[in-house]
Amino acid sequence: MNLPYLEQDCDLTLRDGLELHYGVNPAFKENTNLVPAFYNHDIAHVLFGLDTSIENEGLTDFRCMFSTTWGVKKYISDYFKDPNAMKVLLNIFKEAGYIKSIFNGFRSFPLWFKVYVESKKMHKKWEINPDDSKLDMKLSDLRSDYNITVINYKHL
């Protein structure tokens, strides 16, 4: 599936990008009903230009922790203290294969530092649970306003 939001200068709105993201796998949207934290995680995929490959999942986690107001402590808490989140995550790892998931996740390790450095260059951190006005802005404008550089594993 073509995902234009992976490109830095994407003119889709955040809302349109999110709908494309949910079009990749309808379970993504269904999971937000089960685990509300997944909604902001999904927004991060779109805003920061990351697909759902295992390699980019790690980068999305880093973006959520360092480039948003979520922060490390709350992000980890929202995932590991929610039994539904743990169930969904373990199912994802099981389907992809535990060893393969871990190996592929660490393939993006060299980019984790770059994501951290780029998060420090942002003009401000992304507020989680954005209002409709942010969802209706073009990704290119949001990325410019926040000084977001798309860094993803497949688009080096």
User: What one-letter code names the amino acid at 94?
Assistant: K
Q: Is 3 helix (H, G, I), strand (E, B) or coil?
A: coil
Q: What is the pLDDT of residues 72-96, one digit of tens each?
A: 999 999 988 899 999 988 887 788 7
Work out the number of other CB atoms within 10 angstroms of the CB of residue 117: 12
The residue among 64 and 106 whose pLDDT is bigger is: 64
Domain ranges, residue 14: 4-146
Q: State the DSSP string of 100-113.
A: HHHHHHHHTHHHHH
Structure tokens at 152: 């993803």
Residue 128 reports pLDDT greater than 70: yes
Work out the number of other CB atoms within 10 angstroms of the CB of residue 4: 14
pLDDT of residue 63: 97
Q: State the DSSP string of 102-156.
A: HHHHHHTHHHHHHHHHHHHHSSSPBPSS--HHHHTSBHHHHHHHHT-----TT--
pLDDT of residue 67: 98
pLDDT of residue 147: 98
Structure tokens at 122: 């942002």
Q: Is 82 helix (H, G, I), strand (E, B) or coil?
A: coil
Residue 108 lies in a domain: yes
Q: How confident is the model at residue 97 (pLDDT cuts 50, 70, 90)?
A: confident
pLDDT of residue 66: 97
Residue 151 lies in a domain: no
pLDDT of residue 107: 79
Domain count, the chain: 1
* pTM flag (> 0.75): yes
The residue among 131 and 2 whose pLDDT is bigger is: 131
